[in-house]
Each structure stands twice: as C-alpha cells, then as structure tokens.
Amino acid sequence: MLRIEGLSAGYSAKPVLNDVSINVGAGQFVAIVGPNGAGKTTLFKTISGIVKPSGGEITFDGIDLLAVPPPQRAHLGIAHVPEGRQVFPSLTVMENLEMGAMTESGRRDWQANIERIFEWLPVLKERRNQFAGTMSGGQQQMLAIGRGLASSPKLLMLDEPSMGLAPSTADFIFERLIDIRRQSGLTMLLVEQRVAEALESADHGYVLEAGHVVLEGNNDTLRADDRVRKAYLGM
Amino acid sequence: MEGFFQALAAGLLIGAVYGLMCVGLGLIFGVMRVINFAHGDFMMLGMYAAFYLFTAAGIQALFGNTVGPFVAILLAGPVLAVFGYFVHLALISRVSGTRTASLEGEGHYAQLILTLGIALILQNGGLIVFGSVLASIRTPLSSSAWELVPFFDISIFLNKARSIDAIVSLAIMILLSLLITRTRIGKSLRAAADNPTAATYMGIDVDRAHRIAFALGCGITAIAGGLLATNYPFHPFVGLEYVIVMYAGVVLGGMGSIIGAFWGGMTIGLVQQMSTLILPTQLQNAAIFAVFLLIIFFRPQGFFGRMVERT
C-alpha cells in the first residue's frame, strides 16, 4: 500500500534520512523503532509533505505521493497522528474530531465512525464539549488518535503515541490501538521508542538509526537479533 | 445625568461599528498571524467603493437617498472581499502561510514591509484616482434623530443613521460568529489558526484558509468603513486615522480572539464618547490610549486573550 524507495530528506544540506526504503502492505501493522534523532518523525513529515525530500520515491496505492500537494494527501486516505499530539487547543473535542473528518470518506462515514471512536475511546464522548487544550496529555493523545480515525483512513500513521505519558497511560493507549486494529483491520504504521511493545504487536519492523534502515524483519527475526536485544530490549 | 446617558448611547452606537471594524483586522491576525498595516487603507477603499456604488452605479436611482447608501455599503463588502482575495493571492501569500518556514523571522519582516508598501500605494493611488476633496455618504437619516425616554425625566437622542449603522454592525457580527463557530469552513479557519501543520495533516489547505480569512476580513472592515462614512467625511488618507484604533481594539480584545476584537472596538467607542463628559473633545484620542494602557497594564493578554502556550 505504501512504498518508500531510496528516500533521502532533511532540513539542510546534511540529510536526516539517507536512502530509506520501507514497505507497508495492505492490512499490515508495521513498526519503525530507533533512538531519538534517527529520523523517524522526519520520515512521517516527508510522507505528509511538510518536509520536502531530496531524493527517492513514495507511492501510496499506486499514486506518486510526492506529486500530490500536502493538504491533498489526507484526502487520499493517509491519517497522520503527529508527534506531541498537536490537537487544536481552542477547538472542542467534537470539533477536533470533525476536523479529522474533513476528507470525503470521513464526511460520508461520520455517523458510523463517531460511534466506533466513542466506543473505543469513551473518554472522548464524556468530554466532547471540552476544549482540547484543557485536557491531560493522555486524553489529548486519545483525541489525536480519534481525530485520525475520523477521516476513515486507509493508512493510520502514529508518531510516538506514548511520548510524555505515564507508563500506565501509554500501556492503555497501546492496548486500545491493538483492539482498534483487530476490530477494524486498519493498516497501521507506527513509530515508537517503546521498542518491546511496538515489536510485540507488529507484523513487520524496521530499525532506523542515524537516518538508515539498519535492520528489518518480522517480529521474531528482530527480537532474535542480538543488537536489538542488547540495545532496545535490555536482554 | 442626561449627558451621561447621551454619551453612553452615542458610545454604544459608534462602538458597535468600531467593533465590526476591529473584527475584520482581528480575523486576519487571528487566523494568519500577519500584521496588516494596510488594513486602514482597505477600509478607505471600502468607503470609496460604497460611495461610487451609491452615486455612480445606479443604486441611488434605484433605492433612493435613504435606503440606497446602506445597500451600497453592504455591497462594498463583497467588492473589497474580492479585492482582498486577489491581494492575498498575488502578494500576501508569498510571505505568509506555508511559505514562512523558508523566510527570515518566520516571514514577519517581509510581511511588515509588504503591508506598509501596500498601504502607501493605496493611499497615494487613492489620491490620484479619488482626489483630495472630502467625500461622504450622507443620508437624510444622518441629520435626524429618534428621541428615547428611558426614564421619566431623561430623554436621549439617537442619530438615526448611527443607530442603523450599529444595528447593521451587530447583525454582521452575529452572522460572522455563526460562520466561525458553526460551519465547517469556520471551524477549519480556527483549526488552521491553532496549528497550521496539524491542519495540513487533516487535509485543510492552510493557504486557502488564509485567503478566505483575508478576504472576509477586508470585506467586513469595508462595510464598517462604509457605515462610518454615513457620519464622517473621508479622504484617501483616512485609513491612518483608523488603523491605530483598529490595532488598539484587537489588542484590547486579546490578540487572536476574533470575538474579543469586537469588544475591544466597543470599549474604544465607549471611552471615546464618554471622555467628552470630562475632557475637551481634542483629548478624545488621548483618553482612548490612556484607558488602553491602563487595561493592558492590568490585563496584558486583553479581555479574551489566553496566556497559554501554543502547541
């Protein structure tokens, strides 16, 4: 569904991403793990069009994504749940969800989507008239995920949903994501620093270090790899 | 006592129009974070647009001297909105919105120079095209009044034109706040203001949202300008007199708050009229800024401004 081929990108002459190739098949749950500064967020920003690549290709559903203007990419079915949540603070929870549903499919499926989102993340229903800026970090993260789901995406991209959250909250959000995936069969691309949890539930994983994909494989291969065990799993 | 109520009424009437004028600027600043120095001059164009629509475009013949001016003023709004739309498309969008990432100081320096340049061109261009003679859109209503008797021994005179100006301002304000709070397009403007990057992730075209905000802001201020012109004569440099008041109103209301800008403008109208009770008329504007500084001293974020970190 999403094919990234030899992608290089960055903010100045020195690239943050160097010849990165990643493949996400329809229905797959793919995790990208790696340390801070590896280029994980830059990769997502390049997919969404906020960062311009200096080389390489991205195709989504057979469409050359780099030729599509950034605001149009959401309309193709890519939902980006950004790092640090980035909800709209002066909009209510409900209005944030409506912003997620700006896409044609999001508008069409609004009723069904909102019911499912409230079922998965009941706190959003309780607080639907509250301003997003006044909610806790965990609640904002759930809103960011709900906002992504409201667009009826084909691909849900999650950038460190556990960032800055209490471990128990992060665990809860992970469980919810796994439930959502099991019930909806949605294709997901996850970037995460919590390597053990990310690899456990993913079909396929990539290890990104200093802008390079240093390792890839399914969850057993990665977890059996000595470097991953030492560096990320603490074994 | 009668003088007090008379000044209060006059302040509320002019305050509503000032409020509308400030909202136009507040909308542009709130959504785009662009300081538009040319906004007073867009208002000047609105005044002339209303003037020529009334006198030269046949509205006077069609609607007469009483209703005609207000029809022309309302039509000046869309005219200036279209003008603002193209000014944004051709000029402002080059130094704002998604382009700011690649500009020094997030594009603020370029925006400053550009809007100042537009202001100069509009003022001097106006002088060439419209001439330096004072113009006005007076109606028979401008020189007649309704007498109001709220208490048994007090009577207040409400200038008819100013009363209608205030009613029109309030009606447009209500329509605008419905647009901003209830409609999909209004919500997407607020989302683009809150977080342009996240708005792009939602599929909102931020540059297009800015263009809509700029056009709307120009149209609204043009209508406010036309309404003011029913009582105050104007000339090509009239924008300078009002742009400071507009900024004071926007700051008082709270930078970024669109509804706040209305109350900021209202406050300025009230202070201006009430100050005549104790100060000579020449000090009206000094009084506005004395009160402005006082309010900002105690509430630096303005009435509706929030001191929160923008995420």
ipTM: 0.94
Nearest by CB: B187 against A79, A82, A98: A98
Backbone angles phi, psi at B183, to 5 degrees: -95, 160
Nearest by CB: B311 against A48, A89, A151: A89
Helices B2-32 and B238-253: crossing angle in degrees, nearest 10, is 80
Q: Give A47→chain B minimum CA distance, Å.
A: 10
Nearest by CB: A89 against B194, B204, B206: B194
B311 to A85: CB separation less than 8 angstroms, yes or no: yes
Instruction: Work out the average pLDDT over A78-94.
Output: 95
CB-based contact B255:B302 (threshold 8 Å)? yes
B105 pLDDT above the threshold of 80: no
| Chain B residues closer than 8 Å to A73 by CB | 203
Which residue, among B143, B138, B28, has the nearest Cα to B87 in the 3D structure?
A: B28
| Chain A residues closer than 8 Å to B201 by CB | 48, 74, 79-80, 82, 86
Structure token digits, residue A15: 């690239």
Least confident among A68-77, A93-102, A207-216: A207-216
Distance between CA atoms of residues B137 and B58, nearest Å = 14
Quick check: helix, strand or coil at residue B43?
helix
Structure token digits, residue A52: 């311009």
pLDDT of residue B284: 85
Nearest by CB: A102 against B188, B195, B311: B188
DSSP A11: S
B107 pLDDT above the threshold of 90: no
B1 pLDDT above the threshold of 80: no
pLDDT of residue A234: 73
Neighbours of B239 (CB within 10 A): 27
More confident residue, A95 or A196: A95
Distance between CA atoms of residues A72 and B101, nearest Å = 19
- Search chain B and give the residue with CA nearest A46: B201
Structure token digits, residue B251: 């700051």
DSSP A5: E
A82 to B201: CB separation less than 8 angstroms, yes or no: yes
In degrees, to the nearest 5, what angle opens at C-alpha B205 toward C-alphas A142 and B88?
A: 140
A71 to B195: CB separation less than 8 angstroms, yes or no: no
Structure token digits, residue A69: 């203007």
Task: List the 43-72 stretch of A: residues with Cβ below 8 A of B.
Answer: 48-50, 69-72
pLDDT of residue A17: 93
B279 pLDDT above the threshold of 60: yes
pLDDT of residue B307: 53
- Search chain A and give the residue with CA nearest B305: A90
Q: Cα-atom radius of gyration of chain B, to the nearest Å?
A: 20
CB-based contact B210:B191 (threshold 8 Å)? no
pLDDT of residue B306: 64
Least confident among A31-40, A141-150, A179-188: A31-40
CB-based contact A43:A20 (threshold 8 Å)? yes
A231 pLDDT above the threshold of 50: yes
Distance between CA atoms of residues A187 and A41, nearest Å = 19
| Chain B residues closer than 8 Å to A50 by CB | 197, 200
Instruction: Work out the average pLDDT over A3-23.
Output: 90
Average pLDDT, chain B: 91
Structure token digits, residue B282: 């020449």
Distance between CA atoms of residues B311 and B309, nearest Å = 6
Q: Give B30→chain A minimum CA distance, Å.
A: 12
Would an 8 Å CB–CB cutoff place A73 in contact with chain B? yes
Distance between CA atoms of residues A84 and A164, nearest Å = 8
DSSP B207: H
Residues 6+ apart with CB under 8 A from B159: B10, B13, B141, B142, B144, B145, B231
CB-based contact A188:A194 (threshold 8 Å)? no
Tabulate helix, strand, coil % of chain B (nearest 5): 75, 5, 20
- Search chain B and give the residue with CA nearest A77: B203
A204 pLDDT above the threshold of 60: yes
A88 to B206: CB separation less than 8 angstroms, yes or no: no
pLDDT of residue A219: 80
Would an 8 Å CB–CB cutoff place A84 in contact with chain B? yes
For A2-34, b/e burial (b = at least 16 CB within 10 A) is: bbbeebbbbeeeebbbbebebebeeebbbbbbb
Provide the phi-psi class of A183: left if phi over 0, else alpha when psi is between -120 and 50, else beta: alpha
Instruction: Work out the average pLDDT over A18-43.
Output: 92
A154 pLDDT above the threshold of 90: yes
Residues 6+ apart with CB under 8 A from B241: B40
B190 to A90: CB separation less than 8 angstroms, yes or no: yes
Would an 8 Å CB–CB cutoff place B1 in contact with chain A? no
Residue with tokens 């009723």: A111
B195 to A70: CB separation less than 8 angstroms, yes or no: no
The band of B310, judged by pLDDT with boundaries at 50, 70 and 90, is: very low
The band of B309, judged by pLDDT with boundaries at 50, 70 and 90, is: very low
Distance between CA atoms of residues B175 and B50, nearest Å = 21
Would an 8 Å CB–CB cutoff place A85 in contact with chain B? yes
B311 to A95: CB separation less than 8 angstroms, yes or no: no
